Amino acid sequence: MNSKELFSQWQRKKEIDRYLFMPLITDFAAKIANTTYEEMTSDSSELSKTLIDCQKLFGYDGMIISFDNVIIAEALGCQVDLINKRISKKILDAQLLESIDNVSNSPRIQSLLTGITIVQRVTRDQIIGAAISGMGKLGKSIIQPAEDTLKDQYDLLQKVLMNLVKAILEKRPDLFIIYEEEHDFLEETYKPILNLIKYFRISCVIITENSVKFTLNCQNTAEVLSQTMISDNKNYEELCVKWDEFKTKPSVLLTAGEVPINMDVDQFHDVIDVLRS
């Protein structure tokens, strides 16, 4: 069976004979393609080619197209540094978010949305995931502290993200991932977004810093590989030890942190070999 067929088996809680590995790769893929994150995300053809070529090189099971903090912040009108992936000026007043009707109209986000379609068309046997930053992570990144309560800010971000989530789900990825912080997860605030995901019948995983919070539309549970296990050569022995302690039965592995840009090709091949052992 190919990766997508194995993923379908896993969703139905049937046994699969190996782990399915989906790393979060952006800068690392751009480096291998001799381009930049800014250039890669501005052109859907370049984005899809870069992600597909990287997947072919290493042979992992799926690609995650990431709508991260910086990309969403740019769409909301924040000043961002895409070279260093840093938000250089936050929104000063949370109320400004109310004027954003549809963040998915941003040219860069449109590029990512089209990229999902291209990757799906070209690679029919790989798992295609889409990921966004959750409201807690996003709020800390883009909103200048004000008198608004955390709940007020979440309500505003919820309205913004609903439009983006709907636009992503309409592209029908195999898996929808939300990266959130443990202490900022408010299930009540997420209900409208989770109901929307449920309507589209797409599996959703909410990943906190340390674990998977829960899954939706998926009878099984994904497992998370933290940033510390996908690291540079100095931590390779530690990775091997942790992996022996970590693995239980075949499941889907998702990286909670991005594959570091300073990794080289051989090092990442070593990581893949360990995960497949």
Summarised one tens digit per residue, pLDDT across range 5-63 is 999 888 888 888 888 888 888 888 999 999 999 999 999 999 999 999 999 999 999 99
> What is the rounded CA–CA span in Å between residue 109 and residue 131?
12
Q: Which CATH number covers residue 81?
A: 3.20.20.210
The more confident residue out of 236 and 187 is 187
32 C-beta neighbours (distance < 10 Å), count: 19
| pLDDT tens string 123-175 | 989 999 999 987 777 777 777 655 555 666 677 778 788 889 999 999 999 99
Instruction: Print the domain residue range for 61.
Output: 3-276
| pLDDT tens string 52-89 | 999 999 999 999 999 988 898 888 888 888 888 888 77
Q: Strand pairing partners for 206? A: 178, 214
Query: Residues for the chain: how many in total?
Result: 277
**DSSP, residue by residue, 13-76:** T---SS-EEE---SHHHHHHTT--HHHHHH-HHHHHHHHHHHHHHH--SEEEEEE-HHHHHHHT
109 C-beta neighbours (distance < 10 Å), count: 21
The number of distinct structural domains making up the chain is 1
Report the chain's terminal Cα–Cα distance, integer Å: 18
> Which residue, chain included where needed, has tokens 């912080």?
181
User: Contact 73/80 with Cβ under 8 angstroms?
Assistant: yes
CB-based burial, 13-24: b 16+ in 10 Å, e otherwise = eeebeebbbbbb
